Structure 1
Amino acid sequence: MLKAIVIDDELYAREELNELLVESQQVEVIAQCSNAIEGLKAINSLKPDVIFLDIHMPQITGLELLSMLDPVSMPKVVFVTAYDEYAIKAFEDNAFDYLLKPVESSRLHKTLQRIKLINEQKLEQPNYSPIISQKLELIPCSGFNRILLLEPNNIEIAMSEQTGVHLLTDSDKFTASLSLKVLEEKTDLIRCHRQYLINPTCIREIKLLDNGSAEIVTKSNHHAPVSRRYLKVIKDRFGLL
Protein backbone atom coordinates (compact mmCIF):
# COMPACT_ATOMS: atom_id res chain seq x y z
CA MET A 1 0.00 0.00 0.00
CA LEU A 2 1.26 3.46 -0.90
CA LYS A 3 2.07 5.88 1.92
CA ALA A 4 0.85 9.39 1.18
CA ILE A 5 0.88 12.90 2.65
CA VAL A 6 -1.81 15.44 1.76
CA ILE A 7 -0.73 19.10 1.87
CA ASP A 8 -3.43 21.74 1.42
CA ASP A 9 -4.31 24.89 3.34
CA GLU A 10 -8.05 24.21 2.89
CA LEU A 11 -9.40 21.82 5.52
CA TYR A 12 -12.37 20.74 3.42
CA ALA A 13 -10.14 19.95 0.44
CA ARG A 14 -7.78 17.88 2.61
CA GLU A 15 -10.61 15.88 4.14
CA GLU A 16 -12.30 15.30 0.80
CA LEU A 17 -9.12 14.01 -0.82
CA ASN A 18 -8.35 11.89 2.23
CA GLU A 19 -11.74 10.19 1.91
CA LEU A 20 -11.11 9.44 -1.77
CA LEU A 21 -7.70 7.97 -1.00
CA VAL A 22 -9.09 5.79 1.80
CA GLU A 23 -11.89 4.59 -0.46
CA SER A 24 -9.34 3.59 -3.10
CA GLN A 25 -7.92 0.97 -0.69
CA GLN A 26 -4.53 1.57 -2.29
CA VAL A 27 -3.24 4.41 -0.11
CA GLU A 28 -2.51 4.97 3.56
CA VAL A 29 -2.59 8.68 4.40
CA ILE A 30 0.16 9.01 7.00
CA ALA A 31 -0.16 12.79 7.48
CA GLN A 32 -2.26 15.81 6.56
CA CYS A 33 -0.60 19.24 6.55
CA SER A 34 -2.10 22.71 6.28
CA ASN A 35 0.95 24.52 4.88
CA ALA A 36 4.27 23.97 3.14
CA ILE A 37 6.41 24.18 6.29
CA GLU A 38 4.40 21.43 8.01
CA GLY A 39 4.51 19.46 4.79
CA LEU A 40 8.26 19.75 4.41
CA LYS A 41 8.85 18.50 7.95
CA ALA A 42 6.46 15.59 7.42
CA ILE A 43 8.10 14.62 4.12
CA ASN A 44 11.58 14.63 5.63
CA SER A 45 10.57 12.60 8.69
CA LEU A 46 7.96 10.19 7.29
CA LYS A 47 9.41 9.49 3.81
CA PRO A 48 6.12 9.02 1.91
CA ASP A 49 5.81 7.32 -1.48
CA VAL A 50 3.68 10.14 -2.83
CA ILE A 51 2.52 13.59 -1.77
CA PHE A 52 -0.68 15.26 -2.91
CA LEU A 53 0.20 18.93 -2.94
CA ASP A 54 -1.89 22.07 -3.39
CA ILE A 55 -0.16 24.73 -5.49
CA HIS A 56 -1.86 27.92 -4.35
CA MET A 57 -0.95 28.25 -0.65
CA PRO A 58 0.03 31.32 1.42
CA GLN A 59 3.69 32.20 2.16
CA ILE A 60 5.22 29.19 0.40
CA THR A 61 3.47 27.75 -2.65
CA GLY A 62 3.42 24.13 -3.69
CA LEU A 63 5.79 24.88 -6.56
CA GLU A 64 8.24 26.50 -4.14
CA LEU A 65 7.97 23.52 -1.80
CA LEU A 66 8.78 21.19 -4.69
CA SER A 67 12.01 23.13 -5.34
CA MET A 68 13.06 22.57 -1.70
CA LEU A 69 12.89 18.78 -1.85
CA ASP A 70 16.00 16.68 -2.13
CA PRO A 71 15.90 15.36 -5.73
CA VAL A 72 17.60 12.10 -4.70
CA SER A 73 14.94 11.07 -2.17
CA MET A 74 11.97 13.07 -3.50
CA PRO A 75 8.63 11.20 -3.45
CA LYS A 76 6.27 11.31 -6.38
CA VAL A 77 4.46 14.65 -6.37
CA VAL A 78 0.85 14.97 -7.50
CA PHE A 79 -0.37 18.55 -7.63
CA VAL A 80 -3.99 19.08 -6.65
CA THR A 81 -5.37 22.53 -7.44
CA ALA A 82 -8.26 24.51 -8.83
CA TYR A 83 -5.99 26.48 -11.16
CA ASP A 84 -5.27 24.60 -14.38
CA GLU A 85 -2.96 27.35 -15.69
CA TYR A 86 -0.22 25.88 -13.49
CA ALA A 87 -0.20 22.54 -15.28
CA ILE A 88 2.73 23.21 -17.62
CA LYS A 89 4.86 24.70 -14.86
CA ALA A 90 4.08 21.71 -12.64
CA PHE A 91 5.40 19.22 -15.17
CA GLU A 92 8.44 21.37 -15.91
CA ASP A 93 9.25 21.08 -12.19
CA ASN A 94 8.98 17.27 -12.30
CA ALA A 95 5.53 16.73 -10.88
CA PHE A 96 4.32 13.19 -11.44
CA ASP A 97 0.72 14.18 -12.15
CA TYR A 98 -1.74 17.03 -11.91
CA LEU A 99 -5.32 16.79 -10.60
CA LEU A 100 -7.96 19.49 -10.79
CA LYS A 101 -10.30 20.24 -7.90
CA PRO A 102 -12.81 18.91 -7.21
CA VAL A 103 -10.94 15.65 -7.67
CA GLU A 104 -12.87 12.93 -9.46
CA SER A 105 -12.41 9.41 -8.11
CA SER A 106 -11.99 7.97 -11.62
CA ARG A 107 -9.18 10.44 -12.43
CA LEU A 108 -7.50 9.76 -9.07
CA HIS A 109 -7.73 6.03 -9.78
CA LYS A 110 -5.75 6.51 -13.00
CA THR A 111 -3.03 8.38 -11.11
CA LEU A 112 -2.77 5.64 -8.48
CA GLN A 113 -2.63 2.95 -11.15
CA ARG A 114 0.25 4.73 -12.87
CA ILE A 115 2.16 4.95 -9.60
CA LYS A 116 1.49 1.29 -8.88
CA LEU A 117 2.62 0.26 -12.38
CA ILE A 118 5.86 2.21 -12.08
CA ASN A 119 6.60 0.86 -8.61
CA GLU A 120 5.91 -2.74 -9.56
CA GLN A 121 7.56 -2.83 -12.96
CA LYS A 122 10.15 -0.12 -12.29
CA LEU A 123 9.23 1.70 -15.46
CA GLU A 124 10.71 5.07 -16.26
CA GLN A 125 8.51 7.83 -14.88
CA PRO A 126 6.32 9.46 -17.58
CA ASN A 127 6.59 13.18 -18.14
CA TYR A 128 9.97 13.15 -16.40
CA SER A 129 12.70 15.62 -17.30
CA PRO A 130 16.12 15.99 -15.64
CA ILE A 131 15.96 18.04 -12.48
CA ILE A 132 17.54 21.46 -12.79
CA SER A 133 18.80 22.71 -9.46
CA GLN A 134 17.24 26.14 -9.02
CA LYS A 135 18.67 28.49 -6.43
CA LEU A 136 16.44 29.19 -3.45
CA GLU A 137 15.50 32.84 -3.04
CA LEU A 138 14.18 32.35 0.50
CA ILE A 139 14.85 29.70 3.12
CA PRO A 140 11.99 28.73 5.47
CA CYS A 141 12.84 28.75 9.17
CA SER A 142 10.58 27.92 12.09
CA GLY A 143 10.31 29.08 15.68
CA PHE A 144 8.06 30.77 18.24
CA ASN A 145 4.85 29.80 16.39
CA ARG A 146 5.84 31.64 13.23
CA ILE A 147 7.48 31.02 9.88
CA LEU A 148 10.48 33.12 8.92
CA LEU A 149 11.77 33.41 5.36
CA LEU A 150 15.49 34.12 5.35
CA GLU A 151 17.53 35.35 2.38
CA PRO A 152 20.48 32.98 1.73
CA ASN A 153 23.03 35.80 1.45
CA ASN A 154 22.27 36.75 5.08
CA ILE A 155 23.49 33.36 6.30
CA GLU A 156 27.10 33.13 7.46
CA ILE A 157 27.14 29.53 8.69
CA ALA A 158 24.75 26.56 8.40
CA MET A 159 25.35 23.65 10.74
CA SER A 160 23.69 20.33 11.44
CA GLU A 161 23.15 19.39 15.09
CA GLN A 162 20.99 16.88 16.95
CA THR A 163 18.29 19.53 17.33
CA GLY A 164 18.18 20.32 13.61
CA VAL A 165 19.87 22.47 10.98
CA HIS A 166 20.75 25.89 12.40
CA LEU A 167 21.59 29.05 10.48
CA LEU A 168 23.80 31.81 11.88
CA THR A 169 23.44 35.37 10.62
CA ASP A 170 25.27 38.48 11.79
CA SER A 171 22.95 38.83 14.77
CA ASP A 172 20.74 35.77 15.25
CA LYS A 173 20.33 31.99 15.03
CA PHE A 174 17.52 30.27 13.15
CA THR A 175 16.30 26.71 12.72
CA ALA A 176 15.94 25.80 9.07
CA SER A 177 13.31 23.48 7.63
CA LEU A 178 15.74 22.16 5.02
CA SER A 179 18.62 19.70 5.13
CA LEU A 180 22.26 20.69 4.72
CA LYS A 181 22.32 18.79 1.44
CA VAL A 182 19.49 20.84 -0.03
CA LEU A 183 21.08 24.07 1.21
CA GLU A 184 24.37 23.08 -0.38
CA GLU A 185 22.73 22.26 -3.71
CA LYS A 186 20.36 25.21 -3.91
CA THR A 187 22.26 28.11 -2.36
CA ASP A 188 25.78 29.53 -2.69
CA LEU A 189 26.82 28.08 0.67
CA ILE A 190 29.79 25.73 0.36
CA ARG A 191 30.83 22.69 2.35
CA CYS A 192 33.69 23.11 4.83
CA HIS A 193 32.92 20.15 7.10
CA ARG A 194 30.57 17.17 7.12
CA GLN A 195 28.24 19.13 9.41
CA TYR A 196 28.95 22.69 8.29
CA LEU A 197 28.34 24.98 5.32
CA ILE A 198 29.90 28.42 5.03
CA ASN A 199 29.04 31.56 3.06
CA PRO A 200 32.30 32.26 1.21
CA THR A 201 31.58 36.00 1.05
CA CYS A 202 31.50 36.11 4.88
CA ILE A 203 34.90 34.48 5.48
CA ARG A 204 37.34 36.88 7.12
CA GLU A 205 40.00 34.50 8.46
CA ILE A 206 41.16 30.92 7.96
CA LYS A 207 43.18 29.61 10.90
CA LEU A 208 45.40 26.70 9.89
CA LEU A 209 45.77 24.06 12.60
CA ASP A 210 48.61 21.63 13.29
CA ASN A 211 46.58 18.52 12.42
CA GLY A 212 45.99 19.65 8.82
CA SER A 213 42.50 20.98 9.44
CA ALA A 214 41.48 24.62 9.91
CA GLU A 215 38.95 26.97 11.42
CA ILE A 216 37.01 29.70 9.66
CA VAL A 217 36.12 32.97 11.31
CA THR A 218 33.33 34.98 9.70
CA LYS A 219 32.82 38.72 9.57
CA SER A 220 30.52 38.49 12.63
CA ASN A 221 33.08 36.39 14.51
CA HIS A 222 31.26 33.09 14.10
CA HIS A 223 33.54 30.04 14.00
CA ALA A 224 33.24 26.94 11.82
CA PRO A 225 35.58 23.93 11.58
CA VAL A 226 37.20 23.02 8.28
CA SER A 227 38.06 19.35 7.87
CA ARG A 228 41.18 18.27 5.98
CA ARG A 229 38.92 16.89 3.25
CA TYR A 230 37.45 20.31 2.45
CA LEU A 231 40.42 22.57 3.27
CA LYS A 232 41.90 22.18 -0.22
CA VAL A 233 38.53 23.14 -1.76
CA ILE A 234 38.42 26.28 0.37
CA LYS A 235 42.02 27.18 -0.51
CA ASP A 236 41.46 26.60 -4.22
CA ARG A 237 38.40 28.86 -4.17
CA PHE A 238 40.50 31.78 -2.91
CA GLY A 239 43.66 30.92 -4.86
CA LEU A 240 45.60 29.99 -1.74
CA LEU A 241 48.60 27.65 -1.75
Structure 2
Amino acid sequence: MRRALKTVIVDDEPLALDVLRSCLEEYPDIDIVAACRNGREAIAATLTHQPDLMFLDIHMPGKNGFEVIKALQNDVMPMVVFVTTYQQYALDAFDLHAVDYIPKPLDEERLARAVKRAVVRHRAAGETGVNKPPLIGAIDELLGRLNTRETAASLNKLIIRDVGSARLIEQERIDWVDAAGDYMCIHAAGETHIMRSTVKELVASLDDRVFKRIHRSTIVNIEKVSQVESLSKGDYLVSLDCGERLKVSRSYNTAVKALMRPALSQTQA
Protein backbone atom coordinates (compact mmCIF):
# COMPACT_ATOMS: atom_id res chain seq x y z
CA MET A 1 0.00 0.00 0.00
CA ARG A 2 1.46 3.37 -1.03
CA ARG A 3 2.16 6.06 1.52
CA ALA A 4 -0.27 8.99 1.80
CA LEU A 5 1.16 12.36 0.79
CA LYS A 6 2.09 14.53 3.75
CA THR A 7 0.12 17.69 3.04
CA VAL A 8 0.12 21.26 4.35
CA ILE A 9 -2.90 23.48 3.64
CA VAL A 10 -2.66 27.27 3.74
CA ASP A 11 -5.41 29.91 3.64
CA ASP A 12 -5.85 33.13 5.62
CA GLU A 13 -9.66 32.70 5.71
CA PRO A 14 -10.63 30.31 8.56
CA LEU A 15 -13.82 29.11 6.85
CA ALA A 16 -12.01 28.41 3.58
CA LEU A 17 -9.32 26.53 5.48
CA ASP A 18 -11.91 24.40 7.28
CA VAL A 19 -13.73 23.61 4.03
CA LEU A 20 -10.48 22.61 2.31
CA ARG A 21 -9.49 20.40 5.25
CA SER A 22 -12.90 18.73 5.36
CA CYS A 23 -12.80 17.94 1.64
CA LEU A 24 -9.22 16.67 1.64
CA GLU A 25 -9.85 14.38 4.60
CA GLU A 26 -12.02 12.30 2.27
CA TYR A 27 -8.95 11.27 0.23
CA PRO A 28 -6.90 8.33 1.56
CA ASP A 29 -3.89 9.54 -0.44
CA ILE A 30 -3.80 12.78 1.58
CA ASP A 31 -2.43 13.10 5.13
CA ILE A 32 -2.87 16.65 6.42
CA VAL A 33 0.04 17.40 8.75
CA ALA A 34 -0.55 21.13 9.21
CA ALA A 35 -3.21 23.80 8.54
CA CYS A 36 -1.78 27.33 8.31
CA ARG A 37 -3.46 30.74 8.26
CA ASN A 38 -0.61 32.83 6.89
CA GLY A 39 2.65 32.65 5.00
CA ARG A 40 4.83 32.63 8.11
CA GLU A 41 3.03 29.57 9.49
CA ALA A 42 3.26 27.87 6.10
CA ILE A 43 7.04 28.28 5.96
CA ALA A 44 7.46 27.00 9.52
CA ALA A 45 5.21 23.99 8.87
CA THR A 46 7.13 23.12 5.70
CA LEU A 47 10.47 23.22 7.50
CA THR A 48 9.08 21.11 10.35
CA HIS A 49 7.14 18.47 8.44
CA GLN A 50 8.86 18.51 5.02
CA PRO A 51 5.55 17.77 3.28
CA ASP A 52 5.11 16.20 -0.13
CA LEU A 53 2.30 18.56 -1.10
CA MET A 54 0.99 22.01 -0.25
CA PHE A 55 -2.40 23.54 -1.05
CA LEU A 56 -1.49 27.22 -1.06
CA ASP A 57 -3.64 30.35 -1.20
CA ILE A 58 -2.02 33.07 -3.29
CA HIS A 59 -3.62 36.24 -1.93
CA MET A 60 -2.76 36.55 1.79
CA PRO A 61 -1.75 39.50 3.98
CA GLY A 62 1.89 39.61 4.98
CA LYS A 63 3.61 36.97 2.87
CA ASN A 64 1.52 35.98 -0.13
CA GLY A 65 1.64 32.53 -1.68
CA PHE A 66 4.43 33.41 -4.12
CA GLU A 67 6.58 34.81 -1.33
CA VAL A 68 6.10 31.59 0.66
CA ILE A 69 7.54 29.62 -2.24
CA LYS A 70 10.41 32.07 -2.63
CA ALA A 71 11.28 31.65 1.06
CA LEU A 72 11.60 27.86 0.83
CA GLN A 73 14.76 26.07 -0.22
CA ASN A 74 14.68 23.60 -3.10
CA ASP A 75 15.41 20.63 -0.85
CA VAL A 76 12.26 21.21 1.26
CA MET A 77 10.03 22.56 -1.50
CA PRO A 78 6.81 20.48 -1.75
CA MET A 79 4.64 20.06 -4.80
CA VAL A 80 2.18 22.96 -4.92
CA VAL A 81 -1.49 23.28 -5.77
CA PHE A 82 -2.53 26.93 -5.89
CA VAL A 83 -5.92 27.79 -4.38
CA THR A 84 -6.80 31.14 -5.84
CA THR A 85 -9.41 33.69 -6.79
CA TYR A 86 -7.06 34.74 -9.60
CA GLN A 87 -8.49 32.32 -12.11
CA GLN A 88 -6.68 33.83 -15.09
CA TYR A 89 -3.49 35.01 -13.42
CA ALA A 90 -0.44 33.51 -15.14
CA LEU A 91 -2.13 30.14 -15.56
CA ASP A 92 -0.03 29.23 -18.57
CA ALA A 93 3.08 29.35 -16.40
CA PHE A 94 1.40 27.45 -13.57
CA ASP A 95 0.30 24.68 -15.95
CA LEU A 96 3.95 23.98 -16.62
CA HIS A 97 5.34 24.30 -13.11
CA ALA A 98 2.66 23.70 -10.49
CA VAL A 99 0.63 20.55 -9.95
CA ASP A 100 -2.64 22.41 -10.49
CA TYR A 101 -4.73 25.37 -9.41
CA ILE A 102 -8.20 25.36 -7.83
CA PRO A 103 -10.44 28.41 -8.20
CA LYS A 104 -12.38 29.78 -5.27
CA PRO A 105 -15.07 29.04 -4.20
CA LEU A 106 -13.76 25.48 -3.89
CA ASP A 107 -14.68 23.21 -6.77
CA GLU A 108 -14.74 19.55 -5.67
CA GLU A 109 -14.19 18.25 -9.20
CA ARG A 110 -11.08 20.41 -9.57
CA LEU A 111 -9.93 19.32 -6.13
CA ALA A 112 -10.22 15.65 -7.10
CA ARG A 113 -8.22 16.36 -10.27
CA ALA A 114 -5.51 18.15 -8.29
CA VAL A 115 -5.17 15.28 -5.81
CA LYS A 116 -4.91 12.76 -8.64
CA ARG A 117 -2.28 14.83 -10.41
CA ALA A 118 -0.25 15.17 -7.22
CA VAL A 119 -0.33 11.42 -6.56
CA VAL A 120 0.71 10.60 -10.12
CA ARG A 121 3.50 13.20 -10.15
CA HIS A 122 4.83 12.10 -6.78
CA ARG A 123 4.90 8.48 -7.88
CA ALA A 124 6.70 9.38 -11.12
CA ALA A 125 9.22 11.72 -9.51
CA GLY A 126 10.06 9.44 -6.61
CA GLU A 127 12.38 11.16 -4.18
CA THR A 128 14.21 13.28 -6.76
CA GLY A 129 11.99 16.35 -6.52
CA VAL A 130 12.47 17.01 -10.24
CA ASN A 131 9.28 19.07 -10.38
CA LYS A 132 10.36 21.59 -7.76
CA PRO A 133 13.07 23.88 -9.22
CA PRO A 134 11.02 25.00 -12.27
CA LEU A 135 8.30 26.31 -9.94
CA ILE A 136 10.87 28.42 -8.10
CA GLY A 137 11.97 29.82 -11.46
CA ALA A 138 8.42 30.66 -12.47
CA ILE A 139 7.83 32.50 -9.20
CA ASP A 140 11.03 34.51 -9.75
CA GLU A 141 9.53 35.80 -12.97
CA LEU A 142 6.00 36.42 -11.63
CA LEU A 143 6.58 37.70 -8.11
CA GLY A 144 7.56 41.19 -9.19
CA ARG A 145 4.24 41.59 -11.03
CA LEU A 146 1.89 40.41 -8.26
CA ASN A 147 1.18 43.82 -6.73
CA THR A 148 1.40 45.86 -9.94
CA ARG A 149 -1.32 47.27 -12.13
CA GLU A 150 -0.42 44.64 -14.71
CA THR A 151 -2.13 42.08 -12.48
CA ALA A 152 -5.45 43.92 -12.50
CA ALA A 153 -5.17 44.68 -16.19
CA SER A 154 -4.52 41.02 -17.06
CA LEU A 155 -7.49 39.90 -14.99
CA ASN A 156 -9.72 42.82 -16.00
CA LYS A 157 -11.73 41.89 -12.92
CA LEU A 158 -12.06 43.28 -9.43
CA ILE A 159 -11.87 40.64 -6.71
CA ILE A 160 -14.21 41.22 -3.76
CA ARG A 161 -13.34 38.80 -0.98
CA ASP A 162 -15.72 37.65 1.73
CA VAL A 163 -15.42 35.00 4.44
CA GLY A 164 -14.94 31.69 2.67
CA SER A 165 -15.65 33.07 -0.81
CA ALA A 166 -14.77 35.68 -3.38
CA ARG A 167 -16.67 37.40 -6.14
CA LEU A 168 -15.12 38.58 -9.38
CA ILE A 169 -16.63 41.71 -10.92
CA GLU A 170 -15.85 42.58 -14.52
CA GLN A 171 -14.21 46.01 -14.44
CA GLU A 172 -16.10 47.12 -17.52
CA ARG A 173 -19.37 46.69 -15.57
CA ILE A 174 -18.29 49.12 -12.82
CA ASP A 175 -19.89 52.58 -13.09
CA TRP A 176 -18.29 54.35 -10.15
CA VAL A 177 -16.85 53.79 -6.69
CA ASP A 178 -17.06 55.80 -3.48
CA ALA A 179 -15.49 55.42 -0.06
CA ALA A 180 -17.43 54.72 3.14
CA GLY A 181 -15.02 54.75 6.05
CA ASP A 182 -12.67 51.76 5.73
CA TYR A 183 -14.78 50.28 2.94
CA MET A 184 -15.35 50.95 -0.73
CA CYS A 185 -18.78 50.82 -2.38
CA ILE A 186 -18.49 49.37 -5.89
CA HIS A 187 -21.46 50.41 -8.02
CA ALA A 188 -21.80 48.07 -10.99
CA ALA A 189 -24.77 47.38 -13.28
CA GLY A 190 -27.33 48.49 -10.71
CA GLU A 191 -25.76 46.62 -7.78
CA THR A 192 -23.55 47.84 -4.96
CA HIS A 193 -20.74 45.61 -3.67
CA ILE A 194 -18.82 46.35 -0.48
CA MET A 195 -15.12 45.62 -0.08
CA ARG A 196 -12.58 46.52 2.58
CA SER A 197 -9.94 48.69 0.92
CA THR A 198 -8.45 52.15 0.79
CA VAL A 199 -8.97 54.36 -2.24
CA LYS A 200 -5.26 54.14 -3.04
CA GLU A 201 -5.28 50.33 -2.94
CA LEU A 202 -8.37 50.15 -5.12
CA VAL A 203 -7.00 52.58 -7.70
CA ALA A 204 -3.95 50.32 -8.05
CA SER A 205 -6.25 47.36 -8.75
CA LEU A 206 -8.20 49.07 -11.52
CA ASP A 207 -7.27 49.79 -15.12
CA ASP A 208 -5.85 53.31 -14.93
CA ARG A 209 -6.72 53.96 -18.56
CA VAL A 210 -10.41 53.81 -17.67
CA PHE A 211 -10.82 54.59 -13.97
CA LYS A 212 -9.99 58.07 -12.70
CA ARG A 213 -10.40 59.80 -9.36
CA ILE A 214 -12.70 62.80 -9.50
CA HIS A 215 -12.65 63.34 -5.74
CA ARG A 216 -10.44 62.09 -2.92
CA SER A 217 -13.11 59.48 -2.14
CA THR A 218 -14.63 58.90 -5.60
CA ILE A 219 -13.48 56.97 -8.65
CA VAL A 220 -15.36 56.99 -11.94
CA ASN A 221 -15.30 54.81 -15.04
CA ILE A 222 -14.83 57.45 -17.74
CA GLU A 223 -16.35 55.15 -20.35
CA LYS A 224 -19.63 55.44 -18.42
CA VAL A 225 -19.67 59.25 -18.55
CA SER A 226 -22.50 60.51 -20.74
CA GLN A 227 -22.25 64.25 -20.03
CA VAL A 228 -19.96 66.82 -18.42
CA GLU A 229 -21.42 70.09 -17.16
CA SER A 230 -19.40 73.18 -16.36
CA LEU A 231 -20.31 74.79 -13.02
CA SER A 232 -19.22 78.06 -11.44
CA LYS A 233 -15.63 78.64 -10.28
CA GLY A 234 -14.23 75.98 -12.61
CA ASP A 235 -16.06 73.03 -11.09
CA TYR A 236 -17.65 70.25 -13.14
CA LEU A 237 -20.51 67.79 -12.79
CA VAL A 238 -20.38 64.43 -14.58
CA SER A 239 -23.45 62.38 -15.48
CA LEU A 240 -23.13 58.62 -15.89
CA ASP A 241 -25.08 56.22 -18.09
CA CYS A 242 -26.64 54.74 -14.94
CA GLY A 243 -28.22 58.12 -14.08
CA GLU A 244 -25.81 59.03 -11.27
CA ARG A 245 -24.49 62.62 -11.17
CA LEU A 246 -21.15 63.24 -9.47
CA LYS A 247 -19.29 66.44 -8.70
CA VAL A 248 -15.66 66.68 -9.73
CA SER A 249 -13.42 68.02 -6.98
CA ARG A 250 -11.39 71.06 -8.05
CA SER A 251 -8.19 69.23 -7.12
CA TYR A 252 -8.85 66.71 -9.89
CA ASN A 253 -10.10 69.16 -12.54
CA THR A 254 -6.95 69.20 -14.65
CA ALA A 255 -6.80 65.47 -15.18
CA VAL A 256 -10.54 65.13 -15.70
CA LYS A 257 -10.70 67.94 -18.27
CA ALA A 258 -7.90 66.34 -20.29
CA LEU A 259 -9.49 62.91 -20.21
CA MET A 260 -13.01 64.13 -20.95
CA ARG A 261 -12.24 66.68 -23.64
CA PRO A 262 -14.37 64.80 -26.22
CA ALA A 263 -17.34 64.84 -23.85
CA LEU A 264 -16.83 68.51 -23.08
CA SER A 265 -16.75 69.34 -26.78
CA GLN A 266 -20.09 67.61 -27.28
CA THR A 267 -21.77 69.51 -24.45
CA GLN A 268 -20.44 72.86 -25.72
CA ALA A 269 -21.44 72.21 -29.36
Distance in 2 (CA, whole Å) between partners of 1:140 and 1:58 is: 11
Aligned ranges 1:45-56 → 2 under 5 Å: 48=62, 52=68, 56=82
Which segment is superposed worse, 185-194 or 10-19?
A: 10-19
Distance in 1 (CA, whole Å) between partners of 2:183 and 2:161 is: 11
Gaps in structure 1 of 5+ consecutive residues:
1-5, 25-33, 65-78, 96-127
CA drift at 1:18: 2.9
- Per-residue CA deviation, residues 91-135 of structure 1 (Å, 9 max, x unaligned), is 11226xxxxxxxxxxxxxxxxxxxxxxxxxxxxxxxx9x967341
* CA distance 1:235–1:19, change in 2 (3 Å): closer
2:247 alignment partner in structure 1: 225
Q: Which has the higher helix share?
A: 2
**Root-mean-square deviation over aligned CA pairs:** 4.2
Q: Which of residues 150, 161, 165 in structure 1 aligns to 2:180?
A: 161
> Aligned pair 1:194/2:219, yes or no?
no
CA drift at 1:143: 5.6
Q: Which of residues 143, 146, 150 in structure 2 aligns to 1:133?
A: 150
2:138 alignment partner in structure 1: 89
Distance in 2 (CA, whole Å) between partners of 1:131 and 1:145 is: 25
* CA distance 1:160–1:36, change in 2 (3 Å): farther
> Aligned pair 1:204/2:200, yes or no?
no
* CA distance 1:234–1:55, change in 2 (3 Å): farther
Give the total of aligned pairs. 174
* CA distance 1:86–1:197, change in 2 (3 Å): farther
2:11 alignment partner in structure 1: 7
Distance in 1 (CA, whole Å) between partners of 2:195 and 2:177 is: 9
- Per-residue CA deviation, residues 61-119 of structure 1 (Å, 9 max, x unaligned), is 6967xxxxxxxxxxxxxx9x987454333211226xxxxxxxxxxxxxxxxxxxxxxxx
TM-score calculated relative to the size of structure 1: 0.54
CA drift at 1:199: 0.6
- Per-residue CA deviation, residues 7-47 of structure 1 (Å, 9 max, x unaligned), is 375554653773862898xxxxxxxxx8567x3xxx2xxxx
Gaps in structure 2 of 5+ consecutive residues:
1-9, 22-31, 48-55, 70-79, 91-97, 101-117, 119-130
Identity of aligned residues (%): 13
